[in-house]
Amino acid sequence: MAHVQPIEEQTSTGLNNRKLLMWAFLGSDCMFFGALISTFLVYRGRSGSSILELQESHDAIKDAIGISTGGLSIILILLGIVAFAFTLIAVRRGVVKQIIPAVLVLFAIVVIFQSIWIAGHQPEFTARECTEMGGLVLPGGESCELVIAENLLDIPLTSLSTFVLLMSSLSMVMALSALERNNLPGFRTWLTATSILGVVFLGFQVFEFNAFLQEGLTPRENLFGSTFYVLTGFHGAHVTLGVLWLSSLVVASFKGKVTQKTVLDVEIAGLYWHFVDIVWIVIFSVIYLIGAYGIG
């Protein structure tokens, strides 16, 4: 991030030194997260998680909705492939409008399925069933405490924070795009938005950590606690660093140190920020969704 570069370096490949450094760093960072995610996955299900219980509640929903499991998964796989193909074609041709109806249809389908689920999702454990599941009936006899592990993960809440981080990636590219067109106010607005969204994401994480601690899940509690806090905390540290970096760029732009000429500084910061986003895409999918469902 050396901002006062007298001349753009002439390099033997024509690639910028700092950009090459950033890509090498991101490749290396894959290994950091790879080792952490491996640890999480290797230890998954070793904290006495309530896999069976969740499975049973899902079974209950299946009975309620009355759609066969195989049929649903095939429909969804097809939908996913169609959406993906549509996306690729539309983006490649640069046409945007054609994809919107398809996207809306997909969105509607998901909303419908979700409403059906919410309607059908009324887990009815009797006190006996709860004890059978290895849980504890809490005072008042209305709730059942299960082993605190993967089942604590709050998918709706985390979906929201995932959305926030995706939006921050969007505002990051918008900021870059504005700076490329020498639109400095636009650049500042979008980059500020990116930093704020990053802070909001961190807020979600603090909220989540706090909620888990309230439930009694500490890093010492069990293997899930250890792996979960360290993995998501390591990602949170990346977000914090990114927020610091991006907000420094906003401040520097007021001092005239970030201009169209130094757009590369912003591009490199952007690469870092998007990487933090794609790591979250993996964490959300693998740790939260697949993890909470409890295959294996």
Partner 1 sequence: MESSNIHEKTHPGPRQYITIAVILVIMTAVEVGVFFLTITPAAMTGIILFLAMGKFALVVGYYMQLRYDDRRFLYIFAAGFVVAIAIMIALMALFDNLTR
Partner 2 sequence: MAAYTELLKRPVSPTGVWSWLTTVDHKRIGLLYGVTALTMFFIGGIEAVIMRLQLASSDQTLVSPEVYNQLFTMHGTTMIFMVIMPMGAAFFNYLIPLMIGARDVAFPRLNAFSFWMFLFGTLLMHASFLTMSAPAMGWFAYTPLTSLEFSPTSGVDYWVLGLQVLGIASMAAAFNFVVTIINLRAPGMTLMRMPVFAWMTLIISFLLIFAFPVITIALTLLQFDRWVGTNFYNTAAGADPLLWQHLFWVFGHPEVYILILPAMGIVSDVLPTFTRKPLFGYPAVVFAGVTIAFMGFGVWSHHMFTTGMGAWANGVFSFATMLIALPTGIKVFNWLGTLWGGAIQFNTPLLFSIGFITMFTLGGLSGVMHAIVPVDTQQQDTYFIVAHFHYVLFGGSLFGLMAGIYYWFPKMTGRMLNEGLGKLNFWLMLIGFNMTFFPMHIVGVLGMPRRIYTYGADQGWDNMNMFMTIGSFVIVVSFLVFMVNVIRSLRSGEPAGDNPWGAATLEWSISSPPPHYNFIEIPTITSRYPLWEKDHSVGAAQAHGHDDDSHAVHMPDPSYWPLVLSAGITMLAGGLLIWKWHQILGFTIISVFGLLALYATYRWAFEPVNEPNHEEPHQ
Q: How far is the CB of 136 from partner 1 (least distance, A)?
A: 26
Q: 109: helix, coil or strand?
A: helix
Is the distance from CB of 248 to CB of 272 less than 8 angstroms? no
Residue 176's H or E segment, with its range, is helix 155-180
Does residue 106 touch partner 1 according to CB under 8 A?
Answer: yes
- Residue 287 interface partner, choices partner 2, partner 1, none, CB cut-off 5-8 Å depending on type: none
Q: Tell which positions 27-46 bind partner 2, by CB under 8 A.
A: 27-29, 31-32, 34-36, 39, 42-43, 46
Of the candidates 260, 11, 292, 8, the one whose C-alpha atom is nearest the C-alpha of residue 159 is: 292
> Residue 173 binds which one of partner 1, partner 2, none, with CB within 5 to 8 A depending on kind?
partner 1
Q: Which is nearer to partner 1, 4 or 31 (CB)?
A: 31
34-39 long-range contacts, CB within 8 A, separation 24+: 36/230, 36/231, 36/234, 37/231, 37/282, 37/283, 37/286, 37/287, 39/227, 39/231
CB count, 10 Å around CB of 293? Answer: 15
Contact call for residue 159 and partner 1 (CB under 8 A): yes
Contact between 170 and partner 1 per CB under 8 A = yes
- Provide, rounded to whole angstroms, the least separation between the CB of residue 242 and partner 2: 14
String of b and e for 121-160 (b: at least 16 CB within 10 Å)? Answer: eeeebeeeebeebebebeeeeeebebbbbbebbeeeebee
Q: Is 20 in the site for partner 2 (CB under 8 A)?
A: yes
Task: Out of 15, 91, 108, 160, name the contact with partner 2 by CB under 8 A.
Answer: 15
Contact mark string toward partner 1, 200..239, x via CB under 8 A: ----------------------------------------
Interhelix angle 17-42/223-254, rounded to 10 degrees, is 160
Q: Which of residues 66-105 bind partner 1 (CB under 8 A)?
A: 67, 69-70, 72-73, 76-77, 79-80, 83-84, 87, 90-91, 94, 96, 99-100, 103
CB of 201 to partner 1, least distance (A): 14
Give residue 22's Cα distance to chain centre: 22
* DSSP string over 212-233: HHHHT--TTT-HHHHHHHHHHH
Structure tokens, 59? 């079974």
Near partner 2 in 216-235, by CB under 8 A: 219-220, 222-223, 225-227, 229-230, 234
Residues touching partner 2, count (CB under 8 A) = 42
287 binds partner 1 (CB under 8 A): no
Give the per-residue contact string, 233-252, with partner 2 (x = CB under 8 A; - = no): -x-------------x---x
The site partner of 225 among partner 1, partner 2, none (C-beta below 5 to 8 Å per kind) is partner 2
The first and second tokens of residue 98, run together, are 């054609």
